[in-house]
Amino acid sequence: MPTIQIRLPAALSDRAAGASTVSVEATSVSTALSRLAARHPDLERLVFDPSGELRPHVHLFLGARQVRAEGEDALTDGDELRIVPSIAGG
């Protein structure tokens, strides 16, 4: 099974024991996120709503391409999935 890196922004890393990168074994984006959530439940609540859907302000990138949480994009060893929350301001 491929090992991928999930990159977390500073705003979320404190919910993952201070880690800015978490390694998981997964073959799809949805599996990778499930494994991340199982390992860091506090992070799960910030990324997913109570029904388990990705929160609207959270975006996922596999390399330079935006992907969906329920996507079955095939992952390969060494891929990087980035979680990027939207930033509001004015």
Q: Could you tell me the residue ranges of all domains in the chain? A: 3-85
For the whole model, what pTM was predicted?
Answer: 0.89
**Each residue's pLDDT tens digit, 5-30:** 999 999 899 999 999 999 999 999 99
Provide the pLDDT for residue 85.
87
**What tokens were used for 23?**
């390694």
**Each residue's pLDDT tens digit, 48-84:** 899 988 899 999 999 999 998 887 788 999 999 999 9
The DSSP bridge partners found for residue 3 are 25
Provide the pLDDT for residue 31.
92
- Radius of gyration, CA atoms only, the chain: 12
Class of domain 3-85 (CATH, top level) = alpha beta
